[in-house]
């Protein structure tokens, strides 16, 4: 069975930077990450062994320093850390920081902010926290209620970095066609769109597709959905132990891609096991 690995599989720039920063942090000081650094058990366990654990909030846990992951956090968290004299190791992806600055500046310039994404996703919670009034958060076109918008207002529109372009385009086009005064900046990360384009291309060439990554990872889930819509024999796995031989009965070529938080050693183990199959 031939194995076709996507060049873009695995850590993106922002995740690699965050993981490297976490491992480079001086763990002789009491250090926590705010939320898991990435959606990957093996990496989280390695950090635990280094003495770095994770907390969901800064409340009530004494610490010297906190590592902020690539998803970023609301502005208040920096203020809270400062008030508590906690040193911040800021591993927010620079592409996400750019969105924080954009929404903050445009709100000050008088725009209402429309943020396309999943309201429960940490990146969206973080971006929302860089505005004073809060953003109008839309998961999809069904959540767009034009009766709540005003033609007297100016709207600045951005999206979650890992969001599907088609969803964003549909909302932006609808707003434009309805005559609202909108300014749109495309904030979908190129690492995400390149990974999705390549996955789409590979899924169209193979008999089976394996997507490696956590089900908790938004970009892994999107990859799975894209591949599955093209190649029904698509499987999402955390690691090599989840591979099942029967998936590859009669398969001549299998494609492999991986989410942005999947380490290279996990990908290599999957490739080795596929070669054995
Ligand atoms: S997907 Fe893009 S925005 Fe998100 S962490 Fe990776 S490089 Fe940064």
Task: For residue 24, give the CATH number of its domain.
Answer: 3.40.50.11270
* Residue 60 pLDDT > 80: no
Same domain, 100 and 88: no
Same domain, 195 and 175: no
Between residues 106 and 41, the one the model is more confident about: 106
Q: Long-range contact list for 224-232, CB < 8 A, 24+ apart? A: 226/196, 226/199, 226/200, 227/199, 227/200, 227/202, 227/203, 227/255, 227/257, 230/200, 230/203, 230/204, 231/203, 231/204, 231/206, 231/207, 231/255
pLDDT tens sequence across 107-160: 999 999 999 999 999 999 999 999 999 999 999 999 999 999 999 999 999 999
Report residues whose beta carbon is within 6 angstroms of any ligand 1 atom. Answer: 12-15, 70, 93, 95-96, 161-162, 189, 191-192, 260
Total tally of structural domains belonging to the chain? 3
Choose one of 20, 90, 93, 127 to mutate for the ligand 1 pocket test, by most ligand atoms within 8 angstroms of C-beta.
93
* Residue 68 pLDDT > 80: yes
Segment 249-258 mean pLDDT: 97
C-alpha 161 – ligand 1 centre gap (Å): 7
Give, for 190, the enclosing helix (H) or strand (E): helix 190-203
Which residues participate in catalysis according to the annotation? 123
Look at the alpha carbons of 87, 93, 95, 99 in this order and tell me if their dihedral is positive or negative. negative
The DSSP bridge partners found for residue 171 are none
Residue 261 structure tokens: 């938080």
Same domain, 116 and 180: yes
18 Cα nearest atom in ligand 1: 5
Contact 40, 11 (CB under 8 A): no
Q: In a 10 Å sphere around its CB, with 0-12 CB exposed, 13-18 middle and 19+ buried, how is residue 269 labelled?
A: middle
Query: Which pLDDT value is given to residue 47?
Result: 94
- Give the domain-ending residue among 165, 184, 203: 184
Average pLDDT in the chain: 95
DSSP state of 111: P
219 Cα nearest atom in ligand 1: 1
Same domain, 144 and 159: yes
C-alpha 190 – ligand 1 centre gap (Å): 8
pLDDT tens sequence across 189-224: 988 889 999 999 999 999 999 999 988 888 899 899
Task: For residue 212, give the CATH number of its domain.
Answer: 3.40.1010.20
How many Å apart are CA 152 and CA 225, to the nearest integer? 39
Same domain, 141 and 198: no
- Give the domain-ending residue among 58, 92, 126: 92
How many Å apart are CA 56 and CA 77, to the nearest integer? 11
Provide the 3-class DSSP secondary structure of residue 254.
Answer: strand
Strands, E assignment, 12-52: 31-34
- Give the domain-ending residue among 73, 92, 111: 92
Domain span at residue 218 reads: 2-10+190-276
Same domain, 194 and 266: yes
Same domain, 135 and 209: no
Which of 72, 18, 76 has the alpha carbon at shortest distance from 44?
A: 18
**Any idea which residue has 């695995």 for tokens?**
10
């Amino acid at each position: 069975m031939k194995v076709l690995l996507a060049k873009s599989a695995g850590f993106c720039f922002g995740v690699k930077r965050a993981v490297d920063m976490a491992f480079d942090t001086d763990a002789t000081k009491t250090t926590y990450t705010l939320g898991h650094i990435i959606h990957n058990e093996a990496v989280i366990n390695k950090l635990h062994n280094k003495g770095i654990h994770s907390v969901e909030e800064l409340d009530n846990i004494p610490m010297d320093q906190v590592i902020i992951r690539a998803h970023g956090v609301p502005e208040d968290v920096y203020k809270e850390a400062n008030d508590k004299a906690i040193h911040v190791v800021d591993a927010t992806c620079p592409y996400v920081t750019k969105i924080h600055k954009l929404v903050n500046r445009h709100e000050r310039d008088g725009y209402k902010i429309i943020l396309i994404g999943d309201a429960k996703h940490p990146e969206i919670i973080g971006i929302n926290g860089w505005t004073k009034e809060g953003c109008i958060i839309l998961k999809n076109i069904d959540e767009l209620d034009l009766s709540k918008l005003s033609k007297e207002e100016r709207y600045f529109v951005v999206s979650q970095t890992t969001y599907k372009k088609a969803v964003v385009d549909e909302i932006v086009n609808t707003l434009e066609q309805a005559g609202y005064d909108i300014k749109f900046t495309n904030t979908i990360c190129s690492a995400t769109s390149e990974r999705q384009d390549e996955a789409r291309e590979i899924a169209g060439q193979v008999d089976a597709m394996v997507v490696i990554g956590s089900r908790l990872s938004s970009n892994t889930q999107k990859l799975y959905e894209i591949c599955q819509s093209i190649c029904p024999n698509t499987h999402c796995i955390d690691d090599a132990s989840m591979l099942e031989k029967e998936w590859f009965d009669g398969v001549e070529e299998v494609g492999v891609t991986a989410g942005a938080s999947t380490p290279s050693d996990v990908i290599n183990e999957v490739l080795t096991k596929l070669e054995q199959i």
